[in-house]
């Protein structure tokens, strides 16, 4: 089921687009929208069709919010920008690998692919940034560990805190520049956010604070 709230939907991954894609989420506030992550780029037209199925036109997409630089989340970024005119957002610590087309750190080589370098329009800096979508707040929070510039995004929808924490589960790998101490610190921080809904990249959507906490805690041992 792609509906998460009346304003948040899954439009890629999970059988909705290419099997290699991590989850792609749509946030739709009034006349503006944002996508969280882009998949590998093999089914971009299908992603756009799924966006349209939720009564969102491609030119309403203002931002593409990248959670981190890995290929299953970013390979389709340039194509989505070409089709929507959106601005690509990423933390500066991961943006460098996207702009340089680093196939190792982005894990493109894991998929037998090469990442074409692309420009990141908005490079987030520091621990926390705030963005506005149709006048409403999106919190962008640096959560390093899985990658140096991993991000989570937090919004309020239907009086629920919705957390987009795509690769909460990891994995950690030296080739990805992962850092276990940072990762555990980030997981501890995510727990403190008391999210009502967690939208993860590969394990689905978790509802209720107990279920969200249970999922996060299993990776802290």
What does the alpha-carbon distance between residue 73 and residue 37 come to, in Å, rounded to a whole number?
5
> Domain 8-217 belongs to what architecture?
4-Layer Sandwich (3.60)
Alpha-helical runs (H) found in the chain: 44-53, 71-74, 77-84, 92-99, 180-192, 209-217
What does the alpha-carbon distance between residue 185 and residue 182 come to, in Å, rounded to a whole number?
5
**How many residues are recorded in the chain?**
221
* Closest CA relative to residue 42, chosen from 22, 57, 59, 69: 22
Q: Provide the token pair at 32.
A: 């503006």
Q: Residue 220's CB: how many other CB atoms inside 10 A?
A: 10
Q: Provide the token pair at 94.
A: 């991961």
What does the alpha-carbon distance between residue 57 and residue 26 come to, in Å, rounded to a whole number?
12
32: Cβ contacts below 8 Å, ≥ 6 apart: 60, 62, 133, 134
pLDDT of residue 221: 77
Q: In what order do the strands lie in the sheet with 32-36?
A: 8-12, 24-29, 32-36, 61-65, 87-91, 122-124
136-142/151-157 β-pairing: antiparallel
Q: Let me know: does 66 contact 90? Beta carbons within 8 Å.
A: yes
**Residues linked to residue 206 through DSSP beta bridges, in sequence order:** 198
pLDDT of residue 1: 57
Q: Give residue-wise pLDDT tens across range 125-143.
A: 999 999 999 999 999 999 9
**Residues linked to residue 132 through DSSP beta bridges, in sequence order:** 137
Q: Let me know: does 82 contact 181? Beta carbons within 8 Å.
A: no
The parts of the chain modelled with pLDDT lower than 70 are 1
- Residue 87 main-chain phi, psi, to 5 deg: -100, 135
Q: Provide the token pair at 156.
A: 């309020």
pLDDT of residue 54: 96
Domain boundaries, the chain: 8-217
- Does the reported pTM lie above 0.85? yes
218: Cβ contacts below 8 Å, ≥ 6 apart: none
């Amino acid at each position: 089921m792609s509906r998460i709230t009346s304003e948040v939907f899954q439009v890629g991954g999970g059988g909705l687009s290419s099997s290699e894609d991590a989850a792609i989420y749509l946030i739709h506030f009034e006349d503006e929208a944002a996508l969280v992550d882009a998949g590998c780029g093999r089914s971009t037209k299908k992603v756009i069709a799924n966006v349209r199925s939720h009564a969102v036109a491609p030119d309403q997409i203002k931002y593409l919010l990248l959670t981190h630089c890995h290929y299953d989340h970013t390979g389709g970024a340039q194509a989505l920008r070409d089709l929507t005119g959106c601005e690509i957002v990423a933390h500066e610590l991961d943006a460098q690998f996207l702009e340089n087309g680093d196939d190792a750190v982005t894990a493109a080589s894991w998929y037998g692919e090469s990442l074409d370098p692309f420009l990141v329009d908005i490079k987030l800096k520091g621990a926390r940034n705030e963005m506005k979508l149709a006048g409403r707040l999106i919190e962008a929070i640096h959560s390093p560990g899985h990658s140096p510039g991993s991000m989570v995004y937090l919004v309020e929808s239907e009086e629920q805190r919705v957390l987009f924490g795509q690769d909460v589960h990891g994995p950690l790998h030296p080739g990805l520049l992962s850092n276990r101490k940072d990762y555990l610190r980030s997981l501890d921080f995510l727990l403190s956010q008391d999210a009502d809904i967690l939208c993860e990249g590969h394990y689905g959507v978790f509802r209720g604070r107990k279920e969200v906490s249970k999922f996060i805690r299993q990776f802290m041992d």
